[in-house]
Structure 1
Amino acid sequence: MCAPSSVGAFPHQPSLGARPVHCPPDRGPIRISGSSWPDERAPYEGRREGSMRFTTYDHLPDQTRRVRERVFVDEQGFHDEFDDIDQLSWHLLAFAGTDEAIAASRFFPSGPVGEPLSQGRTGPAGTYTIGRVAVERAWRGHHVGAAVLRATEEAIVRLGGHRAILHAQEQAEGFYRKQGYEVCGERGLDEGCPHVWMGKDLPAVAAG
């Protein structure tokens, strides 16, 4: 199903959740070779943009659940919103002056077409897939989506990544092109909605 363009949310990726994912029975501590993460066991307070701040977690926070449920379930009508990939992902939340999240994303080390790496979050991994980018309705039209994307890219670079890919709804292709993404895969339908794989190299993204 395609989200109405007026909704302003970013591409859901239900096809990723439908693919078989083999989660390690015991992930243990996160190990990231060459990472500049200050403490790999704690939430990372990343970049700030104006009144916005961004925090990255190694687990699925309750606030991420709430943002995604409001955007993808309540507004767009998706039902299988949470999947095994959530357990293999980092989760970024955006805040603006309060402790209530206004936007979210997730990202995970992957192959060139979005398949999670079998070793989960052990690394390094050069390519990361970004997904589940969602902005609360009241904050749309304020460039929050672009800021979330930049913060997510910065987090990927801190983990040693150098390329980001995403499965974009075709109606959002123009937005992602403005953020430096280019078509890198075939176009196709995802739950009846036209999607396209897009990618971006990240060597210039500041890690500091």
Structure 2
Amino acid sequence: MKIKWSKGKEDFKDANMIRKEVFVKEQNVPIEIEIDELDDTAHHIVIYENDKPVTVGRLLEKKKYYVIGRVAVLKEYRGKKYGKVLMENMLMKAEELGANEIRLHAQFYAKNFYEKLGFEAYGKIFNEAGIDHICMKKDL
């Protein structure tokens, strides 16, 4: 397993490929919503298995907290702990960058996954790109 971080779109090809496969093709998220201007300043993480990119996420800095987003695992690699490894690395990176709090918009079906990592849900369920989401946060 290889873990690779990049900033902005300096090395975005593999992250882009996974996000298009999962969000655009599988979940029917419009491409113009999926790839946005926030990618230009985000920290992106890609995890590889045998040189194949299998999972991705991005980390954004806000004024008082960091935001995790665009977490995706290719279908054939789900259930094999890649998502957990990805999130653990994203939380470590956020701490290294000085974050005291992490927030995310979880697809509602994944709420339990994030709760096992110490996130707490807040607010009401909302629809984003045709998918139910819930806001979650974790203090570091």
- SS of match in other structure, 1:200: strand
Q: Whose helix proportion is higher, 1 or 2?
A: 2
Say whether residues 1:75 and 2:13 are aligned partners: no
Which residue does 2:4 correspond to in 1?
A: 55
- Using the alignment, how far apart are the partners of 1:170 and 1:139 within structure 2? 20
Q: TM-score, normalised by structure 2?
A: 0.89
- SS of alignment partner, residue 23 of structure 2: helix
Q: Is the 8 A contact 2:29 2:129 kept in 1?
A: no
Query: What residue ranges of structure 1 are gaps of 5+ in the alignment?
Result: 1-51, 111-116, 118-125, 203-208
Aligned CA RMSD, in angstroms, stands at 1.4
Distance 1:56 1:183, change over 3 A: same
Deviation at 1:184, TM superposition (A): 3.0
Distance in structure 1 (CA, Å) of the matches to 2:36 and 2:61? 16
Q: Secondary structure at the match of 1:141?
A: coil
Structure 1: 4+ residue segments shifted above 4 A: none
1:67 partner SS: helix
- CA 1:190–1:71: 2 relative to 1, 3 Å: same
Please tell me whether residue 154 in structure 1 is matched to residue 92 in structure 2.
Answer: yes
Is the contact between residue 121 and residue 134 of structure 2 (CA under 8 Å) also seen in structure 1?
Answer: yes
Q: Which has the higher contact order (CA 8 A, sep 6+)?
A: 1
Percent of pairs with identical residues? 31
Please say if residues 61 and 67 of structure 2, whose CA atoms lie closer than 8 Å, have aligned partners that are also in contact: yes
Query: Which of 73, 86, 98 is the equivalent residue of 1:135?
Result: 73
Matches within 5 A, 1:1-208: 52-60=1-9, 61-79=12-30, 80=32, 81-96=34-49, 98-110=50-62, 117=63, 126-202=64-140
The two structures have a TM-score, normalised by structure 1, of 0.62
Whole-Å separation in 1 of the counterparts to 2:113 and 2:20: 23
Distance (whole Å) between structure 2 residues aligned to residue 171 and residue 163 of structure 1: 23
Bigger Rg, which one: 1
> Could you give the per-residue CA deviations for residues 120-163 of structure 1, whole angstroms, max 9, x where no partner exists?
xxxxxx41100000101121110111111111111111111121
